[in-house]
Amino acid sequence: MPKLLVVEDDEELLRHIDAWLSSEKYLVETAQSGEDALQMLNSFNFDVIVLDWNLGGMSGLEVCQKFRKSGGTTPIIFLTGESDINHKELGLNSGADDYLTKPFDERELSARVKSLLRRASGLVSNDLTVKGVTLDIISRTATSGDQKARLSPRETSLLEYLMRHPNRFYSSKALLDSVWPLDSEVSEETVRTCMKTLRHKLSEIGLGELVKTVLRQGYCIETE
């Protein structure tokens, strides 16, 4: 599932956004300061950043500028109480992709997130098909021909991530950072164990070779 970072210093609003986006089937991580947000962005991968402009200390604008200057390309949605066009222009010129004025309807936030995900790489689809295997994210089912394999939630997320990013190698550490919640008490061995059980289920429907492993490079689904 897509992984979002929500940065908001209003604790009540942060909890509200977290609960809403989690109910929309996103993996949500949160930060309450610009400094914490930058540290997380430097260490982990996200698909969309929801960033409050008026953070205490380092502002959201500074976070956006520093992240873009460091080469970060993750789509950013600014949240702000300012609706002035000059304010909006400043945010977009700093590298943001969208702008949402408070107060806002949760459904509009969802629509903006989906739009950015779709623009980036089609991440909003609930069905993925790669190399003859179809993954239904909602039912957590992998299908090949007339054979189906039921997957656990984490196995589904792991396979989904590799299917959405084919022909790229990911180490156990990279998959841990991208697929598991940051506060999970798990290790790279957890990733390897999950991959083992996933491959076992895929092998039962003739897809044991779908996920390749290359020494010192990691895991990959190759389509080329």
Instruction: Mark which of 92, 121, 150 sits at the end of a domain.
Output: 121
Residues 136 and 105 in one domain: no
Q: What is the mean pLDDT of the chain?
A: 87
Structure tokens at 94: 């700093």
Q: What is the pLDDT of residues 153-183, one digit of tens each?
A: 889 889 988 988 889 999 998 898 888 877 6
Residues 109 and 136 in one domain: no
Q: What is the CATH number of the domain that holds 205?
A: 1.10.10.10
Residues 109 and 26 in one domain: yes
Quote the CA–CA distance of 187 and 194 in Å, as a whole number: 11
Q: Within a 10 A sphere around the Cβ of 45, how many other Cβ atoms?
A: 15
- What is residue 202's predicted lDDT score, i.e. its pLDDT? 93
- What is residue 48's predicted lDDT score, i.e. its pLDDT? 92
Answer for the pair 19, 30: CB distance below 8 angstroms, yes or no: no
Could you tell me the pTM of the whole model?
Answer: 0.63
Residues 131 and 65 in one domain: no
Q: What is the pLDDT of residues 18-63, one digit of tens each?
A: 999 999 888 899 999 999 999 999 888 898 999 999 898 899 999 9
**Nearest residue to 7 via CA among 43, 44, 35, 27:** 35
Structurally, how many domains does the chain consist of? 2
Residues 27 and 117 in one domain: yes
- What is residue 121's predicted lDDT score, i.e. its pLDDT? 58
Residues 17 and 108 in one domain: yes
Residues 115 and 195 in one domain: no
Q: What percent of the chain has pLDDT over 90?
A: 44
Helix/strand/coil for 151: coil
